[in-house]
Each structure stands twice: as structure tokens, then as C-alpha cells.
Amino acid sequence: MKIVGLTGGIGSGKSTVVRIFGDLGVHWVDADDVAREVVEPGTAGLAAIAEHFGREILQADGALDRAALRQRVFENPEERHWLERLLHPVIREELVRQLQSPDAPYSQPYVLLVSPLLLETDQHELVDRIVVVDVPEDIQIERTMARDDNSQAQVERIMAAQMARDERRSRADAVIDNNRPLQDVERQVCELHNRFLFEFR
Ligand code: ADP
């Protein structure tokens, strides 16, 4: 089973593109979902975070207070590194488990790993191909603001922490231009799917 990594900056259209692959019968694992799963109540990940940051990092119901954690690591790069050293290996292990999960409805010779941090972390070592969903920065900002009701400054801060557009594109085996009507994006995904079926046959 081959693994294709799908990445792109916030609001570039990863979720939109992966749904089109899904319609073609391609199974995918979303790194954002896995990143949430590994800190759910009862996990070793959440226990380690609560021990390190104190119980004030938890909500009354015992779940992780994400806003509080974001604030703590935003203020302190050393805490951010501590958190990354804790979670990145756990996330990676769970990604591998889910990508290899034998009961997944595999009907295609490849699965997708969707991750905003595919290239920023060692997750790219897991994949056979890298696909980048690409839009100009102004479109990225516009679409993210409309989707998340964020201010331009908030979106720009998130983008500043992600890889620059040109560098991301330079690492791609294939680029999907998502500054296009959806119909055109669907055509690009179909072409890419056919290419992978050929390359992975
Ligand atoms: P990501 O998962 O990369 O953060 P999304 O797939 O959620 O990005 O896309 C961001 C926003 O832009 C969503 O509201 C989505 O509906 C919209 N969007 C995505 N692709 C297009 C497109 N080709 N044309 C218009 N809007 C789009």
C-alpha cells in the first residue's frame, strides 16, 4: 500500500480536495484528527501534559483546555518544543497504525495522509509522494477568514508559523491549483488519481 501525503497551508483547500479523492474511493487519515485523538481524556498524552503544565490546563470535565495550552506554548518557545517532543512521535505512531489499519475499506492502491504539517514534521518520511494544495496567500487569507471568522492578523500569524508557499511548492511531486472553480479542481484530482493508479500499478 502506497501512501500519498497531501498538504498545504491553512485554508488552502486540503479538506475540499481530500473529499474529492474520497469520492473516488480513496481512503485517508487526517493528521489534525489524530492530533486531537492522542490528547483525549484517558490518553497517556493528556496525562503527561497535565503533569507538566498543571491541572489548570484541563477543563472542568477533564478534557484538554486547548485555548489555555495554545496560550502557554505561544508565550514560551521552550514549552512549545517540549510539547512537540511529546506529541510528534505519538501522533506519528498513531498515523502509521491508522494508515496500515487492515479493516480500512481499501479499494485503491494508495491511501492519503492529510496533514498541514507534513513537511514541517518528520511525517513526510512516511509518504511515497507529496501533493501540495496551492492558492495565492491573499486567497488563503480570504477563505480562512470567511470559514473561521478569524481576523486577518490571526490568519497571518498562523501562516507565519507554517512553511512559505514557494518552499512548500518546491517540495511537491504534484501541485493542485485550488485558485480555480471546484469543477476544475475535480478534474485536476481525477488526473492525479489516474497518474497514481498508473505509477502504483
Ligand atoms: P484547509 O482544509 O486546507 O484548511 P478548506 O478545504 O477548509 O482548507 O478550504 C478553506 C475554505 O475555502 C473552505 O471554506 C472551502 O469551502 C473554501 N474553498 C476551498 N476550495 C475552494 C475553491 N476551489 N473555490 C472556492 N472556495 C473554496
Q: Are 114 and 14 in contact, with CB atoms under 8 Å apart?
A: yes
Tell me, using a 6 A CB cutoff, whether residue 162 lines ligand 1.
no
Binding-site residues from annotation for ATP: 11-16
What residues does each domain of the chain span? 2-199
- How far is 46 from 39, CA to CA, in rounded Å? 5
Look at residue 189 in the predicted model and tell me its pLDDT.
98
Report the nearest-CA residue for atom 19 of ligand 1: 13
Which three cell numbers, joined as nine digits, stand for 46?
Answer: 493528556
| pLDDT 10s digits, 100-144 | 876 656 678 999 999 999 999 999 999 999 999 999 999 999 999
Residue 79 alpha carbon to ligand 1 centre in Å: 32
The sign of the CA dihedral 192, 97, 100, 20 is negative
Q: Quote the CA–CA distance of 187 and 115 in Å, as a whole number.
A: 22
Kindly report the pTM of this predicted structure.
0.92
> In angstroms, rounded to a whole number, what is the distance separating the alpha carbons of residues 87 and 83?
6
User: What are the DSSP calls for 120-148, one per residue?
Assistant: TSGGGGG-SEEEEEE--HHHHHHHHHHHH
Residue to mutate, 21, 143, 188, ligand 1, most ligand atoms under 8 Å from C-beta: 143
CA distance 18 to 92: 20
CATH, range 2-199: 3.40.50.300
50-109 pLDDT tens trace? 999 999 999 999 999 999 998 899 889 999 999 999 999 999 999 999 998 766 566 789
